[in-house]
Amino acid sequence: MANNSFKSILHTKGWYPSNSNDLIAMIEQDLLPDITEKVPIKAVIVPHAGYVFCSKVIGAVLRYVKGQQYSRILMLGPSHYVEARGIGVVCNYDSMETILGPVPFLKSINTQLINTGYFVEDNNVHQPEHALQVLFPYLRILQPDVPVIPIIIGQLNSLEIAEISLILKHLIDDQTLIVISSDFTHYGKRFGYLPFQASNDKAVSEGVRAIDMAAINAILDNDVSTYDRYIKQAQPTICGRFAIQILLEIIKDKKVESSLVDYVQSGDISRDWSHTVSYAGIRFSVS
């Protein structure tokens, strides 16, 4: 039976280097220094922008999974291009082809997920979506043989979040890594989000950071109720907010230690503070 694979073309659109050797060198540099503290990493939150903005954040977090043993990787991220409401979206591909080689998918559970009524199978949602594809080169280097369960998370209400979290919780064992793909605040007129007045660049940076840290602190406290309340009241432009809340629901009864590994804003790099996007890297471990 022929392998049903989809070829990622992000390298042709400037998301990361188009030359495989340059890409490997960039990722290997991002993964330095090696981590001597070997604690079991159960989940991570990492960004999904172009590498020029966030690869160092991705590497700072994913270096902690280097050398660890996993049976599967559950990846959750938002849909930027196709509207999806009340559901998670799986695909029927066997793998994703990157310029570094294939990333294997675990699609044998698709029928189980679809039968719950909260998931659909739609390759057309996955094909254009960068939120998960941006991370595949790192997984290809760090965990090349571990199968991935890639799920695009749509717009969800509280009941849908609870149901999907419970369903996914049954897929997770002690050797599962959960990868949540999300950027944080998208600030500026181009994003339709100007929640405060700022007279200078520093005020923008500090205001955006305050918005981000309100959500991040709830995440670090593993406090899903505070996180949910903040998202509903403040409505921050965190693109992966539902995927993050699913993670918090899954781990809320577990003894998990969370830490903010890195945090940057695109304005720090572009020097254009008329709009800026935040990138946070968070790890979740068990002692």
Which three-class secondary structure state does DSSP give residue 51? helix
Mean pLDDT of the chain: 96
Q: Which residues of 39-60 are buried (b: 16+ CB within 10 A; e: fewer)?
A: eebbbbbbbbbbbebbbbbbbb
Residue 8 pLDDT > 60, yes or no?
yes
Q: CA angle at residue 221 from 220 to 223, to 5 degrees?
A: 115
Residue 233 phi, psi (nearest 5)? -85, -45
Q: Tokens 């503070």 appear where?
A: 273
Contact status, residue 20 vs residue 156, Cβ threshold 8 Å: no
pLDDT in tens, 179-208: 999 999 999 999 999 999 999 999 999 999
By 3-state DSSP, what share of the chain in percent is helix, strand and coil, each rounded to 5? 40, 25, 35
The encoded tokens of residue 205 equal 């940076």
pLDDT in tens, 254-267: 889 999 999 999 99
CA torsion sign for 37, 105, 46, 158 is: negative
Percent of residues, the chain, with pLDDT higher than 90: 94
- Cis, bond preceding 137 (omega within 30 deg of 0): no
- pLDDT tier for residue 154 given thresholds of 50, 70 and 90: very high
CATH number of the domain encompassing residue 103 = 3.40.830.10
Residue 3 pLDDT > 90, yes or no?
no
pTM of the shown model? 0.97
Over residues 50-74, the mean pLDDT reads 97
Instruction: Tally the domains of the chain.
Output: 1
Cα 57 to its chain centre, rounded Å, is 12
Return the pLDDT at 119.
98
Q: What does the alpha-carbon distance between residue 9 and residue 111 come to, in Å, rounded to a whole number?
A: 28
Percent of residues, the chain, with pLDDT higher than 70: 99
**Short-list 231, 180, 170, CA closest to 74:** 180
Over residues 98-113, the mean pLDDT reads 96
Q: Can you give the residue range of the structural domain that contains 82?
A: 5-285
Q: What does the alpha-carbon distance between residue 96 and residue 9 come to, in Å, rounded to a whole number?
A: 10
238 residue type, one letter: I
Other residues' Cβ atoms within 10 Å of the Cβ of residue 29: 11
Q: What does the alpha-carbon distance between residue 244 and residue 261 come to, in Å, rounded to a whole number?
A: 16
pLDDT in tens, 74-98: 999 999 999 999 999 999 999 999 9
The encoded tokens of residue 219 equal 């995440």
Q: HEC states along 149-169?
A: EEEEECECCHHHHHHHHHHHH
The encoded tokens of residue 22 equal 């340059």
**Short-list 284, 201, 281, CA closest to 248:** 284
- 199 by Cβ neighbours in 10 Å (0-12 / 13-18 / 19+) ranks as exposed
What is the DSSP secondary structure assignment for residue 94, as one 8-state letter?
S
Return the pLDDT at 286.
87
Over residues 166-179, the mean pLDDT reads 95
Q: What does the alpha-carbon distance between residue 286 and residue 21 come to, in Å, rounded to a whole number?
A: 35
- pLDDT tier for residue 1 given thresholds of 50, 70 and 90: very low
